[in-house]
Structures are given as structure tokens and as C-alpha cells.
């Protein structure tokens, strides 16, 4: 009888312990979800695909509208309406995407009803804008100048992609469209890396791809896959144990606060994709130059003006703050793609605007997101003002 009472007591104790563990786990799971936006960026990225609850399809971070594409590297899916997007775990905005001429690419601007494409801005995520549409520099420039400017930006694309998009959706003779009188071609320093990436995707690259950093393979099995998709705590433990280089390359290792400016910066991705000592980026540069010249010639043949806008990194804009931590050599390396483009502009008689001086002149305020490489709403406002002034100086829009 005594033994039976002890057994029952032990069983009750075990049940209480198990109940406490389950309750603690549920509290931890709930807390991680509630505090997701406050977690370190690496953990946010690792947990982005975890379901908000096991009974819904919603994830902790919205699934991106853009997807890999063999022709353009990446494209935005058309047909989205006010879709919440996360450019990075800390930056969200809404996107409505429009189909042009029945194509599979979604643009933030609807096509003109009459097919009269008068002016376009084409580029990567800096033209697509990681902001609400009304805050994007393209939208602001349209409002400021009265130009019927259309936004053809696509995230994670380079110059070759932009040339193909321009031809396929604007210049292709079969479309029988009235050709633009102005094309704004946005450049960012990772365009060379993206152009190589598209060539590698299509197996036309001459430079062998860089070996991917070793990462422990994800375990498989029904239970593990379920936990990976539904348990935030499992995701945290997996991230801490596995340490995925694909996640870590976007972590900003440096941090500085000064006045109104708060910046994290210097990610491995930025440094690698801008590194012009790497053969793959050099190959991408040649592909990019060909695409720029081909599009310039096409635009001018059709009576339009072609203008290149060179966007700098936040590390360059806030160099006085970032160089003490990163070092002069690292900052010079980040400036190299943009400076090489500007030299190319001079050699080829291209009309180019370097946005670095204008952005640096207003770097006493937050122009980029603290933990993201993109311009915030204020940065987009400044860019729109700089481009507007440049177009007026070029006689392309009327002065106020």
C-alpha cells in the first residue's frame, strides 16, 4: 500500500512537471512570436517562415512577391493588391502589382491605358522602393515634375535584367508602343554581382561560381519539418546550432549612433557583392556595360533621353561614421563599383547623376533604414528632389 501511494505521488509529480514544461514552452512560443520584431536580425531571418499559429498559413514574415526567374533573375508576381511585404525582417510595406500587356512580371505602376509610355524609371529594389508607394522617389518625382513616370523596378536584378525588361515591355516592335522621351536607369553597386548571377543561373557565365559556405544540412522527416514550420523555439535552437551562412551574410556587424542617425552596416553580402577584385563581379561589370549601352542606343534611336542614376550605399553616405569602424580600405571597396560606373559614363558620353554628394549633404538625418540597406521615406524624398533638380538643369522638365 505504501509503495502504491509512493507510485501515485511520483506519477502526480511527473504529470505536474510535464504540465509545467508544456506551459513554459507555450509561453516561450507565444513570447517569441510577440517579440519577433525585437529579436536579433539573424534570428528574425531564421524564423521568417515559421507559422504564426500551427492552424494558419500566415508566417512571422510575409512571403515575398518576388521569385527567381531565368530571364530576369527575379520578378514580382502580378496581381497583388495591398500585399504586405517584408524587404527585410525590420522593414515592411504594402505592394500592389500590375500586369503589363499580359506578361508574367508585376510592376508597381499600372500600364498606360493608351499605350503611351512617356517616361520610365527602371532598376532594382532601389527603384521598386522598400517603402509605401507614395513615399517612393519615383512617385515623388512624378508628382514634383508632372512627368507621367512609370515604375518598372524589380528587386534583386541587375543591368542585364533591366535591359531585357525594357525591351520586352516597352521597346519590342511587336508591342507598337509610343516610345518614352525619358528613361531613368538606376544603378546600385551590386548590379555587377546580379548580372553575373543571372549568367550563372543560365549556365552562360565564364567565371566559375564561388563555392558556397558550408552549412549543416537541414534534417528531414515529417516531425522535424513540422517543427521547423510551426515551432519558434525549435527554429531558434536550430539557428543557434546550425549557423546558416545564407542567413549570417545579411547580418550587419557594425553599429553607430550619432545625433539623429542610427545605423547598422557592413554586412558580408554588401562587401562581397561590391568587391571588384572578384572575377565574377568583373564579368558582371562587362555584361552590365553591354546592357547599358544597348539600351542607351535603343532609347536614343527612338528619340528619347537616357539618364543613369548612380545610388550609393549607406556606408558611403555616412562615411564619416562608418569608416572609423570598417576602415578606409573597406569603404573604398564599396565605392569602387559606383566610381567605375562613373568613369564608364565619361568614356561613353553617358548622362549620369552621382547621388552621393547630394545625399551626403543631408546626412545629418536618417536617410536609410537602421538595419536595412535601402532608403527610407526621407531618403526617397531627398533622391526625388535631387533628380528633379538635375532634370531641370538638363532642360527635361520645366522650372518652377
- C-alpha closest to that of 82 among 120, 136, 10, 132: 132
pLDDT at residue 33, rounded to an integer: 74
- DSSP class of residue 148 equals -
Q: Rounded to whole angstroms, how far apart are CA atoms 182 and 353?
A: 14
pLDDT band at 217 (very low <50, low <70, confident <90, very high): low
* Joined grid coordinates for residue 328: 578606409
Query: Which of the pair, 42 or 360, is modelled with greater confidence?
Result: 360
149-194 per-position pLDDT tens digit: 999 999 999 999 999 999 999 999 999 999 999 999 999 999 999 9
Q: Tell me which H or E stretch contains 107.
A: strand 106-107
pLDDT band at 125 (very low <50, low <70, confident <90, very high): very high
Q: Rounded to whole angstroms, how far apart are CA atoms 366 and 140?
A: 18
> What residues contact residue 238 under an 8 Å CB cut-off, 6+ apart?
46, 228
Rounded (5°) CA angle 118-121-125: 155
47-88 per-position pLDDT tens digit: 766 777 776 766 676 778 999 999 999 999 999 999 999 887
Q: How many residues does the chain have?
A: 400
Dihedral angle of Cα 176, 104, 117, 194, to the nearest 10 degrees: -120
> Residue ranges of the domains in the chain?
2-58+214-248, 66-212+250-393
pLDDT at residue 30, rounded to an integer: 75
pLDDT (mean) for 8-26? 76
pLDDT at residue 95, rounded to an integer: 97
Class of CATH domain 66-212+250-393: alpha beta
Q: Rounded to whole angstroms, how far apart are CA atoms 294 and 348?
A: 12
Average pLDDT, the chain: 89
Does the structure show a pLDDT above 80 at 296?
Answer: yes
Amino acid at each position: 500500500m505504501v509503495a502504491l501511494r509512493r507510485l501515485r505521488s511520483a506519477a502526480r509529480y511527473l504529470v505536474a512537471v510535464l504540465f509545467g514544461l508544456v506551459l513554459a514552452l507555450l509561453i516561450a512560443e507565444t513570447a517569441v512570436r510577440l517579440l519577433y520584431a525585437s529579436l536579433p536580425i539573424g534570428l528574425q531571418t531564421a524564423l521568417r517562415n515559421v507559422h504564426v499559429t500551427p492552424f494558419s498559413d500566415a508566417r512571422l514574415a510575409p512571403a515575398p512577391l518576388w521569385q527567381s526567374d531565368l530571364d530576369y533573375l527575379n520578378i514580382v508576381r502580378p496581381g497583388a493588391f495591398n500585399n504586405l511585404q517584408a524587404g527585410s525582417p525590420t522593414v515592411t510595406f504594402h505592394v500592389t502589382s500590375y500586369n503589363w500587356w499580359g506578361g508574367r512580371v508585376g510592376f508597381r505602376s499600372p500600364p498606360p491605358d493608351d499605350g503611351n509610355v512617356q517616361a520610365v524609371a527602371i532598376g532594382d529594389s532601389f527603384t521598386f522602393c522598400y517603402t509605401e508607394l507614395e513615399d517612393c522617389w519615383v512617385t515623388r518625382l512624378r508628382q514634383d515634375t508632372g512627368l507621367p513616370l512609370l515604375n518598372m523596378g524589380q528587386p534583386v536584378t541587375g543591368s542585364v535584367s533591366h535591359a531585357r525588361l525594357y525591351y520586352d515591355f516597352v521597346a519590342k516592335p511587336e508591342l507598337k508602343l509610343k516610345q518614352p522621351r525619358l528613361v531613368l536607369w538606376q544603378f546600385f553597386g551590386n548590379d555587377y554581382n546580379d548580372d553575373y548571377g543571372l549568367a550563372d543561373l543560365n549556365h552562360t557565365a565564364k567565371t566559375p561560381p564561388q563555392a558556397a559556405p558550408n552549412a549543416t544540412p537541414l534534417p528531414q522527416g515529417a516531425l522535424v519539418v513540422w517543427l521547423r514550420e510551426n515551432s519558434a523555439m525549435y527554429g531558434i535552437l536550430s539557428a543557434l546550432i546550425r549557423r546558416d551562412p545564407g542567413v549570417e551574410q545579411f547580418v550587419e556587424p557594425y553599429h553607430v549612433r550619432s545625433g539623429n542617425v542610427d545605423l547598422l552596416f557592413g554586412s558580408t553580402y554588401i562587401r562581397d557583392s561590391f568587391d571588384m577584385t572578384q572575377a565574377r563581379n568583373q564579368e558582371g561589370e562587362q555584361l552590365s556595360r553591354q546592357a547599358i549601352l544597348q539600351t542607351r542606343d535603343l532609347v536614343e534611336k527612338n528619340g528619347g533621353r537616357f539618364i543613369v542614376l548612380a545610388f550609393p550605399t549607406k556606408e558611403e553616405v555616412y562615411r564619416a561614421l562608418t569608416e572609423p569602424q570598417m576602415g578606409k580600405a573597406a569603404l573604398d571597396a564599396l565605392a569602387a563599383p559606383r566610381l567605375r560606373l562613373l568613369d564608364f559614363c565619361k568614356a561613353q558620353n553617358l548622362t549620369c547623376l552621382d547621388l552621393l554628394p547630394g545625399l551626403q549633404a543631408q546626412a545629418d538625418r536618417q536617410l536609410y533604414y537602421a538595419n536595412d540597406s535601402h532608403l527610407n521615406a526621407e531618403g526617397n524624398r531627398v533622391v526625388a528632389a535631387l533628380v528633379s533638380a538635375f532634370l531641370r538643369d538638363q532642360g527635361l522638365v520645366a522650372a518652377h
